[in-house]
Chain A
Amino acid sequence: DAMVIQNPRYQVTQFGKPVTLSCSQTLNHNVMYWYQQKSSQAPKLLFHYYDKDFNNEADTPDNFQSRRPNTSFCFLDIRSPGLGDAAMYLCATSSDEVTGYSYNEQFFGPGTRLTVL
């Protein structure tokens, strides 16, 4: 089944130690997103890629970076994680093409839960 895959599901890092979260998709969607969801809060968009074009949200800290080497993969890099960065990180995809999916419906992965010690 086509899907959005996030690895690992759980990630533990140390305060200040760079960490990379991974997302891959088999949907061949041209848009990929990263959301942050802190405990008991709603998901918050950090940035998204439209094809190769990176779009940062205005309030996303510089500590968060992203890479998209190809259509299928997208990475979230946290350069110096702080305790406040502990959260669930959700990757999502969508497509411009009306392929039978609801237009602009976003498909989410299961998330990576990040713990910062």
Chain B
Amino acid sequence: DAKTTQPPSMDCAEGRAANLPCNHSTISGNEYVYWYRQIHSQGPQYIIHGLKNNETNEMASLIITEDRKSSTLILPHATLRDTAVYYCIVRVEGDYKLSFGAGTTVTVRA
């Protein structure tokens, strides 16, 4: 059973913020939210992860709702190189398995 639900695709304009939603209504208390992306013909790349607090790094920000049932990945200034499939994954820290869902295909347009 899929643990996360993401829109299959979305477009965004270059230079604008891209907000990628993810629903994980059955998330457990010890499960983290991870985001990876996969640029065409490359291996997946880790972006960010969080438990319940909002997180920010050099690539993106992660906003997790207070009830933890959904989250949003924010790419603050999307570039053409951010065109990729973005995967939202819930996972117990310490569990080695990454279970990828279908992800969201994000296309950044000039």
To the question of whether A and B form a pair in one complex, the answer is yes
Q: Which residues of A contact B (CB under 8 A)?
A: 4, 31, 33, 42-45, 48, 50, 55, 90, 92, 94, 102-111
With a 10 A CB-CB cut-off, give which of B45, B49, B98, B102 has the most chain A CB atoms.
B98
Which of B20-28, B64-72, B74-82, B89-97 lies on the face that meets chain A?
B89-97
Q: Check A104 against B43 for contact (C-beta < 8 Å).
A: no
- Grouping DSSP codes into helix (H, G, I), strand (E, B) and loop, the B interface class, with mixed when no group exceeds half, is loop
CA of A94 to CA of B41 in the docked complex: distance in angstroms? 21
Q: Check B101 against A110 for contact (C-beta < 8 Å).
A: no
Q: Check B46 against A103 for contact (C-beta < 8 Å).
A: no
How many residue pairs link A and B with beta carbons under 8 A? The number is 49
Q: Check A105 against B102 for contact (C-beta < 8 Å).
A: no
Q: Check A31 against B96 for contact (C-beta < 8 Å).
A: yes
B92-110 vs A, CB cutoff 8 Å, 1 = contact: the mask equals 0111111111110000000
Q: Check B98 against A111 for contact (C-beta < 8 Å).
A: no
* Residue tally, chain B, CB below 8 Å to A: 20
Q: Check A108 against B44 for contact (C-beta < 8 Å).
A: yes
Known contacts A42-B87, A42-B102, A42-B103; is-contact A110 B43 (Cβ 8 Å):
yes
The residue of chain B having its C-beta at the shortest distance from the C-beta of A101 within the complex is B46
Q: Check A106 against B102 for contact (C-beta < 8 Å).
A: no
Which of B42, B95, B101 has a CB less than 8 Å from the CB of A42?
B101
Question: Which residues of chain B have C-beta atoms less than 8 A from A107's C-beta?
Answer: 46
The 4 closest A-B pairs by CB, nearest first: A108-B43, A42-B100, A105-B46, A108-B44
Question: Which residues of chain A have C-beta atoms less than 8 A from B49's C-beta?
Answer: 102, 105
Q: Check A92 against B93 for contact (C-beta < 8 Å).
A: no
CB-CB contacts below 8 Å: B6-58 with A? 38, 41-46, 49
Q: A33-B96, A45-B97, A45-B99 are in contact. List 9 more A-B contacts (CB 8 A).
A: A42-B100, A43-B38, A48-B96, A50-B96, A55-B96, A90-B43, A103-B93, A104-B96, A106-B98
